[in-house]
Amino acid sequence: MRLPVYLDYAATTPVDPRIAALLGRHLTLDGVFGNPSSATHVFGRQAARVVETARCQVAGLLNADPREIIWTSGATEANNLALTGVMRAQARRGRHLLTSKTEHKAVLDVCRWLGQNGCIVTYLDPDPDGQIPLERIAEALRPDTVLASLMHVNNETGVIHDLAAISALTRERGVLLHVDAAQSAGKLPIDLQTLPVDLLSLSAHKLCGPKGIGALYVRQRPVRIRLEPLLYGGGQERGLRAGTLPTHQIAAMGEAFRIASEEMGAEQAQIRSLRDRLWQTLAGLDRVELNGHPRENVAGILNVSFTGVTAEAVLADLPDIAVSTGSACTSATNEPSHVLRAMGVDSLRARAAIRFSLGRFTTVEEIDYTAGAVIAAVNRLRELSPLWEDIQQGSESGQSATPKANEKRHISVPSS
């Protein structure tokens, strides 16, 4: 077993060796390195063919039309393009935008900017299990609502939102729907022929592809969604995203999506069984709490709080295990997770939360090693913790400091 163990697949994934090999073949003189816009020679035309094949592969996984895929530098740019693009192009329809407090910062920070620049933004609260109730969305829609932006799978908790129900509602009410699918594409089935989603953000590096490439799906039928671009220049991507297309990155993203369409079912079942094994072992500890939804969750993410210790202390005790406290993007700020806080998780429990995220190359040995090491670390730290002593005394006298501890012991497999 290789140490340290990598269990931070929700932050980024290692590139699949099949994809790394393909990347290399699109860089050098003896490979396909041309500028896809160079229509005057074979180098450019070959590169353009590679780009269009990849576009079909990405569209294929989502049952979309290839013309609906716009290449970007990642899901962050796709989110920026979707939100500012729609709100600027469609300002005459209204200024109201709806989102939730558990979105990724790549949506929330764009919403904040829009809010400072003439838009009105409503941030919905989730339920304690992380989902946004449909009635809450319905009540927040206004006559001047142009767009709703709600993620498919949450990157910190793995909670799955009911896209079918949400998109049916927004379509019925004549509101556009943008979905950040960075954590769900290639992990859950997404069929854009049946789901009335209008815009959807994608990233390659959450799916064993390289960092720095992603895409925005923009619905063309029955109506073409109007967007204002972020970048102006050479007119690539139907004028929606200027800049020379990175042939190697695009080929790699296409391959990541092709592999996912073939292997998703078996791979997710395997990852889920490893995740459940990890949870069942960790749940043997006293006072372990699951953060998220007990059933509606993606296979690869497990977010748990160990009462009486801080996540930082556990991580510092486990240099051989790469996990995360909340999301990588916010762990620099040392704030407790905005996602867990929005779900009503108290600050102590939020500071005790650790996200384990598993992926394609996770092994059973790694899971067993991790479970053993985490249990040992938590027990060691609890011995030293005056807080833990108080909590235990509280529960001995019948006044549990955390009354909900140990309620959610099992994650069950969603019916879908």
Ligand X SMILES: *Cc1c(COP(=O)(O)O)cnc(C)c1O
Catalytic residues: 329
Q: Please list the alpha-helical segments (H only) found in 158-239.
A: 163-172
Asked if 10 and 327 touch (Cβ cutoff 8 Å), the reply is: yes
Which is nearer to ligand X, 190 or 371 (by Cβ)? 190
Asked if 7 and 321 touch (Cβ cutoff 8 Å), the reply is: yes
Among 58, 61, 70, 75, binds ligand X (CB under 6 A): 75
By CB under 6 A, the residues from 160 to 219 that bind ligand X are 180, 182-183, 203, 205-206, 214
By CB under 6 A, the residues from 254 to 283 that bind ligand X are none
Asked if 355 and 326 touch (Cβ cutoff 8 Å), the reply is: yes
- Rounded least distance, CB 214 to ligand X, Å: 5
* CA 329 – CA 79 distance, rounded (Å): 15
- Closest residue to ligand X, judged by C-beta, is 74
Asked if 348 and 299 touch (Cβ cutoff 8 Å), the reply is: no
Query: Which of 186, 127, 120, 204 minimizes the C-alpha distance to 162?
Result: 127
Q: Does residue number 74 form part of the binding site for ligand X (CB under 6 A)?
A: yes
- Rounded least distance, CB 102 to ligand X, Å: 10
Query: Which of 168, 171, 144 minimizes the C-alpha distance to 225?
Result: 171
Question: Which residues have a Cβ under 8 Å from the Cβ of 13 and sit 6 or more positions away?
Answer: 205, 206, 207, 208, 209, 359, 360
Query: Which of 341, 353, 349 minimizes the C-alpha distance to 100?
Result: 341
Query: Which of 202, 163, 208 minimizes the C-alpha distance to 183?
Result: 202
Which is nearer to ligand X, 182 or 313 (by Cβ)? 182
Q: Using the 8-state DSSP alphabet, how is residue 16 labeled? A: P
Which is nearer to ligand X, 324 or 362 (by Cβ)? 324
Which is nearer to ligand X, 100 or 155 (by Cβ)? 155
**Number of residues in contact with ligand X under rule CB under 6 A:** 14
Residue position matching structure tokens 């004549």: 174
- Rounded least distance, CB 2 to ligand X, Å: 24
Among 13, 46, 57, 76, binds ligand X (CB under 6 A): 76
Among 46, 99, 102, 155, binds ligand X (CB under 6 A): 155
By CB under 6 A, the residues from 217 to 236 that bind ligand X are none
Which is nearer to ligand X, 330 or 402 (by Cβ)? 330
Residue span binding ligand X (CB under 6 A) among the ranges 39-47, 70-78, 226-234, 241-249? 70-78
By CB under 6 A, the residues from 9 to 48 that bind ligand X are none
Which is nearer to ligand X, 137 or 182 (by Cβ)? 182
Strand partners, 98: 122, 148
- Rounded least distance, CB 208 to ligand X, Å: 13
- Rounded least distance, CB 181 to ligand X, Å: 8
Among 151, 175, 274, 301, binds ligand X (CB under 6 A): 151
Query: Which of 278, 271, 268 minimizes the C-alpha distance to 303?
Result: 278
Q: Is the peptide bond before 403 cis (omega within 30 degrees of 0)?
A: no
Q: Please list the alpha-helical segments (H only) found in 226-246.
A: none
- Rounded least distance, CB 314 to ligand X, Å: 23
The residue ranges that bind ligand X (CB under 6 A) are: 74-76, 104, 106, 151, 155, 180, 182-183, 203, 205-206, 214
